[in-house]
Structure 1
Amino acid sequence: MFWQLKLHNNQGASAENRALKYLSARGMKLIQRNYACKAGEIDLVMLDKETLVFVEVRFRSQSQLGSAAESITISKQNKIRKAAHHFLACHRKHQHRLCRFDALLIKNSSTHHDANPEKLIEWLQGIF
């Protein structure tokens, strides 16, 4: 059964756009955006040379809720893993690839007055 993710959060969609632009500028190629199945959802599926990368994008506007990295709980990791297995089962042409799980953590630009917006992005590779 096909699942379609609907982003109701403009900040989340904007963060994913920034993440995609950031990773594309570093040579990664988009395979699929917002892959969703019953088991979970993956924000970005990308190729880093020959490695298939499942990317979780996290945006935090307030640090009182915890950091973006802290919001990727064990439960969230398990959902991403299950969704990745589903993706591979449905996209056999990628089954031979090494896989990696990354996170892109994006800070709110209105609370950081840095001239360089790339300093507001932290890329964690192979996080789980």
Structure 2
Amino acid sequence: MLACDRRVAIGAPSLVFPFGTHGMTLDDLTRWRLHQLVGADEAERLVDGRHVVACEEALALGLLDGRYDTLEDLAAAEAARRRDAGGPGVAAEGESYLRPGETPEQAVRRAAAPMRGAFPPHTGS
């Protein structure tokens, strides 16, 4: 997540930082990036122990760039942002990642399938 250019949430997810309780440590690049996003004190707090960060706190810390209620809301906001910005990454008129008859939710699931297979969703609290 830290390596992404944009980090957005659909709904109100919580982020889990399990590093300390699993005997894990961050690589130097990930730690550096986390420090950039949230500052040194918050970064060290998040990697020391197990922390569950609610969506609103994640937004306030800078871990997320935005939160949307639905995929459709996100798609509309991104289309407007790209249209306003112009340049690379702007879809041509009529161009879409969606396949015929596919909903945005189905497209996101299709795009995320390889990653979801490698890293199953967290189910604990």
Q: TM-score range by the shorter chain?
A: under 0.3
After TM superposition, the score normalised by the length of structure 2 is 0.28
Which gives a bigger RCO, structure 1 or 2 (Cα 8 Å, sep 6+)? 2
Question: Per residue, is there more strand in 1 or in 2?
Answer: 1
Structure with larger Rg: 2
